[in-house]
Amino acid sequence: MTHPTFTDNDLWNDDLAPTTAAQRTWRWYHFAALWVGMVMCIPAYTLSASLVEAGMSGWQAVLTVFLANAIVLVPMLLIGHAGAKYGIPYAVLARTSFGTKGAKLPALMRAIVACGWYGIQTWFGGSMIYTLLGVMNGAPIGGEPLGWLGINLAQLACFLAFWAIQLYFVVHGMESIRQLETWTAPLKIAICFVLLWWVHRQVGGDGFGPLLEQRSQFVPGGPKEGQFWSTFWPSLTAMIGFWATLALNIPDFTRFAKSQRDQVIGQTVGLPLPMGLLAALAVIVTSATVVLYGKALWDPVDLASRMTGIAVLVALIVLLVDTVSVNLAANLVGPAYDFSALAPRRISYRTGGYITAGLALLMMPWKILESTQNYIMTWLVGYSALLGPIAGVLVVDYYLVRKTALDVDQLYRHDGIYSYGDGWNKAALAAFVLGVLPNIPGFLNAAFPASFPDVGDVFKTIYTYAWFVGVAIAAVVYGLMMKGRGAH
């Protein structure tokens, strides 16, 4: 496959071009390594552990995590097919359904969410530096919070330091990120077993019992009797929302695959099973902390800070490397391509990375993490309501409307078949809007309960299924409006 040569086309950009046969050399191991690298991260660990805190038994939490990842794997494989077949990224694939200009909308939606995640992961990295310095100092560093910022000067400095460390990989581009993920994935698996060995050595074979044997709080006579489903569904939606961004921009990675088999096996091996195992690890290790410290410690950074001797240094350094690799692979590559797609002649992949890093600072991620309500119901479920409809449109367009047949050259033309006349496909816009609308009342109630206290129970219930509702409505609306349009 060769690049089109349109000298007058401002949609063209080498970073958005189809990959050549020589470039597409990844095997399924690299995709599995990519997923293992992204799965083994602090937010995934804490999110898994929080389900037990919400009332689930350990095994209910593990099964919920596994189910959510098995569900979100489906759109990942479906959307990833186009990247592997045609060598195009997400921002270009979106042109087939939204139009050559309209594709900027889904690109921007996905990019903004990724900027938030980039900031959250950077905050975790900065927190590890802050914790490490406190351990080395023998006492917590810093002082009183800085007014409206809500964090102290030392926390801010550590956050900015970690943000600066990641700029190296932004400058050196995609290849440096792929190399980092390939080498760190096996290390992360080894560290998980080391962590299990450490807690087993500390508490003995009987130390894994307290939380593993703890019954669900939803059983008859339990403190949350009869509330399982009202907890399960928003938790499942939040878990799906956790990977909803990558479910869209997965072509940014699969475009480097040598075959469909590579991307399918790599993702299938690399996502659901490792995520389920991480959930089990979170439950087991947290169970041991009850014996060690008298309370459940869900934050691995907090746990690492309680280790002694060289173990503290090793644990925190490993977590730092882990956070860098996850953040760059999951939250930099996608938005960098997306911002580049907004103005290809002026914004390169690297410049898109700089924009991502800059917006991550402005979003003050520690505010998102102030409470479980903010993190799960407002952040995770909230943005899944935006991204679900886009996934529905992409899948229906690629499989039912196009029958997986795309004209790559036309994707880079202003007046091509994917311009829909003025660059916007009204069917995709309508499907997106109608997919988002039913979730808005529930989101407003979750994000601003004091300002929107009278939202009806129906809308609150709809919001707990935000991603599913968005996918279903958008898919049906788009399919009906595009019926009879043909392969192109």
pLDDT digit string, tens, across residues 60-81: 888 888 888 888 889 989 999 9
- To the nearest 10 degrees (0 to 180), the angle between helices 28-39 and 272-293 is 30
Q: What is the CB-side half-sphere exposure of residue 101 using CA atoms within 13 A?
A: 10
What phi, psi does 232 have (nearest 5°)?
A: -65, -50
Q: Rounded to the nearest 10 degrees, how much is the dihedral formed by the CA atoms of 214, 217, 219, 221?
A: 100
The predicted structure's pLDDT at residue 322: 72
SS3 letters for the chain?
CCCCCCCCCCCCCHHHCCCCCCCCCECHHHHHHHHHHHHCCHHHHHHHHHHHHCCCCHHHHHHHHHHHHHHHHHHHHHHHHHHHHHCCCHHHHCHHHHCCCCCHHHHHHHHHHHHHHHHHHHHHHHHHHHHHHHHHHCCCCCCCCCHHHCCCHHHHHHHHHHHHHHHHHHHHHHHHHHHHHHHHHHHHHHHHHHHHHHHHHHHCHHHHHHHHCCCCCCCCCCCCCCCHHHHHHHHHHHHHHHHHHHHHHCHHHHCCECCHHHHHHHHHHHCHHHHHHHHHHHHHHHHHHHHHHCCCCCCHHHHHHCCCCHHHHHHHHHHHHHHHHHHHHHHCHHHHHHHHHHCCCCCCHHHHHHHHHHHHHHCCHHHHCCCHHHHHHHHHHHHHHHHHHHHHHHHHHHHHHCCCCCCCHHHHCCCCCCCCCCCCCHHHHHHHHHHHHHHHHHHHHHHCCCCCCCCCHHHHHHHHCHHHHHHHHHHHHHHHHCCCCCCC
pLDDT beneath 70: ranges in the chain? 1-40, 172-189, 191, 204-214, 270, 296, 308-312, 315, 372, 486-488
pTM value is: 0.81
The predicted structure's pLDDT at residue 180: 58
The whole-angstrom separation of Cα 361 and Cα 441 is: 29
The predicted structure's pLDDT at residue 98: 95
The Cα diameter of the chain in Å comes to 72
Asked if 426 and 387 count as a contact pair (C-beta separation under 8 A), the reply is no
Asked if 383 and 244 count as a contact pair (C-beta separation under 8 A), the reply is yes
The whole-angstrom separation of Cα 241 and Cα 44 is: 12
pLDDT in tens, 244-276: 877 888 888 888 777 788 788 877 776 777 777
Domains and CATH numbers, the chain: 14-364 (1.10.4160.10)
Provide the token pair at 183: 């080498």
Instruction: Give me the count of residues in the chain.
Output: 488
Instruction: Supply angle C-alpha 380, 289, 374, rounded to 5.
Output: 20
The whole-angstrom separation of Cα 323 and Cα 390 is: 28
Contacts of 163 (CB under 8 A, 6+ apart): 122, 126, 357, 360, 361
